[in-house]
Chain A
Amino acid sequence: MKLGFLVDLNLCMGCKGCEVACRVENEVPFSSWRLHVKYVDIGTFPDVSRNFTPLRCNHCENAPCERICPVSALHYLDNGIVNIDSSRCIGCAGCVMACPYGAIYMDPQTNTADKCTYCAHRIESGMMPACVVACPVEANIFGDVEDDTSHISLYIMEHQGSVQVRKPEKNTNPKHYYVGGGNQALNPLAHERLERYGLFNDTTHIEHIDTPHNDRLDRFLAPLKSLEKLGDKSFWGMEKSKENIESPKHKKDH
């Protein structure tokens, strides 16, 4: 079994429903994203069209993030998902450097790497990923790419010739496909970026938390302090409890 994603960009209307659903389902902090929809305007006024491209982790078969992770925090599941165990993550950000799709972020609340897991927790319970459920036009197609009779396999066969992946030259063998995406949609260098001329210019950022346990000095002193307060018991091989993590101090840059 190899789970994969396909987005039909001809259907996507850029409503960002998937993005919001993902954010809610996975409690993704502001200024970070597991899934986001990129808008690209093409053409010269008045002949202008707007393209929408949902971008998320590609769950590569040859995942550079898995290879570079020194502690196997990033690992493959049997169903092909590249999952992350944040309790093991040491925060070296090697995976952030390795991912050619920019799909991994350092969570400002937990100070560990995080990314889309194709909602592995939902799949385990027999549910579809939150973004698939939220899509009003069924542009997100999810399923087993090794099963010839699955919806995604049939869709790929039906659209052979127009199925693309992002950055195939990186040899990552992504399991995330696009139909109807041109160079403009999938190549980050194919278009212009004018800073401060985006649709939304005032972006809220969250700085990484400087709790008593996360400033530079306290990182060293952490083992000497009460581990209970740290909210991370993985050091002793116990389950990490997200509830124990202190609430973030949200800071606005703008």
Chain B
Amino acid sequence: MIEHSINVTNGLVTLDVTSPTTIWSWLITLNMWAVSLTVGVVLVGAYLSYRHKSKDRPNLRWVVPLISLISLNIFLLSTLTYLHWSYKIINILLYPHWTSAITIGAWVALLYTILITIMVTIGILDAFPNLARHNIFTKIIRRGSRFYEKVSPFAVFLSIPLILHTAIIMAESTAMGLWQAPTELIQVLLGAFIAGSATLIFVSDSWSREAREDLSFVLAISILFSFLIYMGEYLFSFKSAEIEATLKYLHASGEYNVEFWIAMTLGFVTPLFLSISNIKSDNKTLMRFAAILALIGLYLAKDVWLKIPQILPLS
């Protein structure tokens, strides 16, 4: 160690375990991204349903639960694929431990799946009256289509704990100083609004211009606030040596520098300006472009934020 003479006040590790690797890998990033999408379309969809008449957003009733169900399945599949013992996930139901946000999330996801499946079934059968019109089951479901309106408020209500549980899991990860509950709670909610509004842009062709303006507005505001939180953490986390050490992975020579700044510039700043400009101009192509960038940016930002605290030595 002679060639690496260091200050007397510093130490040099000469023997330790190897540097930690990322235990929660891209599958968990996909999990968190998918849950943002699952919840986001429902929350933004609920807002649009409340604010606009059904003729202004004709397909919303069946498209929202359908997208939510698809992304919910991506979320569940990525979780199962990650688990080292996938089939043992049943233990969460058999031996639930209620202090764990993972348990809460699993139970909420189970209830949510039931509600969303009901909504998708009713929504699609109502939207396509010729679909299996002579089937006895579809007839029964169509007769009870008002049930949709009774179920949907519960789905909207459940979507809040479903998205927030990911932030609480991060907060319960005591080893990861970067993940602070107050910030993550807001960040995952904003992530849901970004994912929800960006996804609904792709199905908003037949909607009124006012409804699309609202989508642009929600996307712009969510991106702006989320970006401000990331920058706030990046630039002003003066309080903890651990957080500062973690954020060094984003600095110029850091391992995740490129991915983070691609996420911020292409995934946040660019769609922010595109969506702001579209609040007035209603350019559908640009809007779709902004939506794609926002969805990619959200994934990359979540990926970086998930991985950087994991590579900090703990011993």
List the interface of chain A (C-beta within 8 A of B): 31, 33, 36-45, 47-48, 50-51, 55, 64, 66-72, 88-94, 96-102, 106, 111-112, 170, 172, 184, 188-195, 197-200, 203, 205, 208, 214, 216, 219-220, 222-223, 232, 234-235
Contacts and interface: CB of A to CB of B under 8 A. Distances in A.
A44 B14 contact: no
B13 A191 contact: yes
Contacts of A232: 85
Contacts of A199: 14-15
B1 interface: yes
B13 A70 contact: no
B85 to A, nearest CB: 5
Interface in B239-291: 241-242, 245
Closest 6 CB pairs of A and B: A91-B84, A102-B314, A191-B11, A64-B174, A39-B15, A97-B173
B214 interface: no
Contact of A193 (B5, B174, B313): B313
Interface string B189-202: 00000000000000
Given A98-B175, A102-B315, A90 B11 contact: no
11 contacts: A42-B11, A67-B100, A72-B97, A89-B85, A90-B89, A91-B88, A94-B173, A100-B175, A192-B12, A194-B13, A222-B86
Contacts, number: 205
A69 B11 CA distance: 35
A112 to B, nearest CB: 7
Interface stretch (B19-27, B130-138, B294-302): B19-27
A202 B12 CA distance: 19
B18 A193 contact: no
Contact of B16 (A36, A101, A112, A189): A36
A50 B90 CA distance: 49
B313 A188 contact: yes
Contact of A40 (B14, B97, B100, B102): B14
Given A70-B102, A97-B23, 14 more contacts: A41-B11, A42-B10, A42-B12, A44-B8, A70-B92, A71-B91, A90-B83, A90-B84, A91-B88, A98-B174, A102-B17, A112-B84, A193-B13, A205-B18
Interface of B: 1-2, 4-8, 10-20, 23-24, 80-92, 94-97, 99-103, 106, 169, 172-176, 241-242, 245, 310, 312-315
Contacts of B94: 71
Max count, chain A CB within 10 A of own CB: residue among B13, B17, B241:
B13
Contacts of B103: 70-71
Nearest to B172: A68
B96 A223 contact: no
A99 B87 contact: no
Nearest to B94: A71
A133 to B, nearest CB: 23
A39 B16 CA distance: 7
Nearest to A49: B11
A106 B13 CA distance: 24
Contacts of A192: 6, 10-13
Contacts of A94: 100, 102, 169, 172-173
A202 B111 CA distance: 50
A64 B174 CA distance: 6
Given A36-B17, A92-B102, A195-B19, A68 B80 contact: no
A191 B10 contact: yes
Nearest to A43: B8
Contacts of B91: 70-71, 88, 90, 234
A92 B102 CA distance: 9
B37 to A, nearest CB: 21
Contacts of A69: 97, 100
A97 B25 CA distance: 12
Given A40-B12, A68-B101, A197-B1, A219 B23 contact: no
Contacts of B17: 33, 36, 38, 102
